[in-house]
Chain A
């Protein structure tokens, strides 16, 4: 589907790294993986991001975004709050739960000012609100179709993780941009899968990611909040 210019602009605003929700302060365990020398170069980061996209928590978020978008379109507020609670229950560590809540609540607060006409919809959510749900809500207000805003969400997640990798490993800016560019086919493929996934498909295979986040919670020296 071709986006109108207004839809495209709304999406660009939401996926911009300058959206003030604090994404830059989170690494989702990457900081501890670098400290433990589990990820030491661009190849290691690339492998990690690909595994996370196919088997990690972002799969659950994407699946919930598809479902909460339907809830928003049908004004099923109970369903929307169910999926928000569902995400809280599936967040496997405290830090990852806090991250998603902080970013989600920040985005909702921001969006009541950016699009005041969305206030009634925003008030239907019982806080704390996960970022994936807040993002879906803002995208729905911008009338962006799910195949575009989920793709954008995955892209902004990958951008943030790569920015973290550039700082932590460290990598050159060029290497970071190469990594991001080369992820495009996978981002496209995962988006398509998420749109047709059943509730049974919401599962993960990511012991390493959970352990990395658990280690980060007690990491002595840290730049990032997750």
Chain B
């Protein structure tokens, strides 16, 4: 096993002359970003983050900080699925701090994680959201290398998300999955499904009639579950538990496309049909 990494990534975006640009960038292996690109025009900057070590091992410490200055618009995704390997005991930590200024808009849409049996992983995502900013994110997690018949019977996975606005907690979701046969099989937890996923939208409020339309966008296949609800401040939260990464990505993309159409009111206008990042391949 290789020795642990202390990866760092710090990005600051600003909006100037009708374009969102990276104003400051610092990174430390194994984290880095590709050169930003603008498939939808200059106002929204697409950025692909990479983890060059192939996967996360116990003891790794990743620290990521992304700041969006007022009116900047950014889509951040990752180049590939993130593997989280089984651990000899040490916990891998991934800390993300996102700061969204007035009128800023961030789509934080990483590709899925694959959590190997025996992994010890702890992710903490903390967002400071200006009352006039909008944040859209998803998280897709596969427990165990299902193709090999592996299940998450040992290990601990944690993903704590906290969104704060004006010094108050707006959304807190502290998820924990302790690996065990009961957790994998219980209808209260995974119900035999290897994949869980969350989609969250906070900022531009969603009216009840849009919520009804969003609910109609996606009906899950048999033995998968999808639910939608409203958060405080009329945000949207969607949860998936099922068997197919393709199904959940497809469903989340439909929600994302629909919500893009509503977000014209916040900050600058942006294309209402987002371009799907090429790194996601053909889905």
Contacts and interface: CB of A to CB of B under 8 A. Distances in A.
A213 B229 contact: yes
B188 A48 contact: yes
Most buried by B among A33, A205, A217: A205
Interface in B156-214: 158, 160, 162-163, 168-178, 183, 186-191, 196
B51 interface: no
Interface of A: 33, 38-39, 47-48, 51-52, 55-56, 85-86, 88-90, 92-95, 97, 202-211, 213-215, 217-218
Q: How large is the interface on B (under 10, 10 to 19, 20 to 34, 35 or more residues)?
A: 20 to 34
A218 B215 contact: yes
A203 B239 contact: no
Contact of A86 (B169, B177, B231): B169
Task: Name the 3 nearest CB pairs between A and B, nearest first.
Answer: A214-B227, A51-B188, A89-B169
A39 B227 CA distance: 18
Contact of B227 (A48, A52, A203, A210): A210
Interface of B: 158, 160, 162-163, 168-178, 183, 186-191, 196, 215, 225, 227-232, 237, 239, 241
B189 A88 contact: no
A89 B171 contact: yes
Given A213-B229, A214-B228, A218-B215, A51 B189 contact: yes
Given A207-B196, A207-B239, A211-B225, A51 B174 contact: no
Contacts of B172: 86, 89-90
Contacts of A90: 172-174
Contacts of A33: 187
B239 A210 contact: yes
B191 A208 contact: yes
A204 B229 contact: no
A214 B189 contact: no
B228 A205 contact: no
A51 B186 contact: yes
A7 to B, nearest CB: 33
B149 to A, nearest CB: 22
B190 A207 contact: yes
A55 B189 CA distance: 9
Contacts of A52: 188
A207 B157 CA distance: 14
Contact of B189 (A85, A207, A217): A207
